[in-house]
Structure 1
């Protein structure tokens, strides 16, 4: 099993992720090879909360034009984690 800090890479900072905070849902960028069980265990260990559900999505990197030709941003995996209201 991977180290907890290897599973959770960074929080997602966006309008949509801030809107989900009212529903006790937090969004993270996670390692591409991690599964829902690993994400749940990592969030519970690192933040000391009870996780209710984990939803994951694989996002394709955007194609961008550079002055050297076409490029592509890397693909990311995101997890939306809902925590129990009493644990906040």
Structure 2
């Protein structure tokens, strides 16, 4: 995988309370491109963070329909990847111990 594709696959971390709890167990959540595959996500994380990835789970989240004074609108759909690292591996940037 070329370096340019690595930065297009991983769009950024997805930090929520649920993601913080998952990070304590070695599972990290990333927003990924809509056309990203599990193998691309795995290679991208291993290339960027130089950690061994055990498994990747990908989830498609549909955007909510919201109403306002101007009518109905829809939030964007997102795709998340739950990345589980090998035993003993951690990402220091995701832990809330600052």
TM-score range, shorter chain: over 0.9
Moved over 3 A (4+): none
What do the CA deviations read for 1:19-51 (whole angstroms, capped 9, x no partner)?
001210000010011100000000000011000
1:57 aligns with 2:62: no
The structural deviation recorded for 1:85 is: 2.6
Mapping 1:2-13, distance limit 5 Å: 3-13=5-15
Looking at structure 2, the residues matched to 27 and 77 of structure 1 have their Cα atoms a distance apart, in angstroms, of 10
The structural deviation recorded for 1:3 is: 1.1
What is the number of equivalent residue pairs in this alignment? 88
- Other-structure match for 1:26: 28
Looking at structure 1, the residues matched to 75 and 88 of structure 2 have their Cα atoms a distance apart, in angstroms, of 39
Unpaired segments of 5 or more residues in structure 2? 91-98
The structural deviation recorded for 1:67 is: 2.0
TM-score, normalised by the number of residues in structure 2: 0.84
More strand by share: 1
TM-score, normalised by the number of residues in structure 1: 0.94
What do the CA deviations read for 1:40-70 (whole angstroms, capped 9, x no partner)?
0000000110000000100000001122110
Unpaired segments of 5 or more residues in structure 1? none
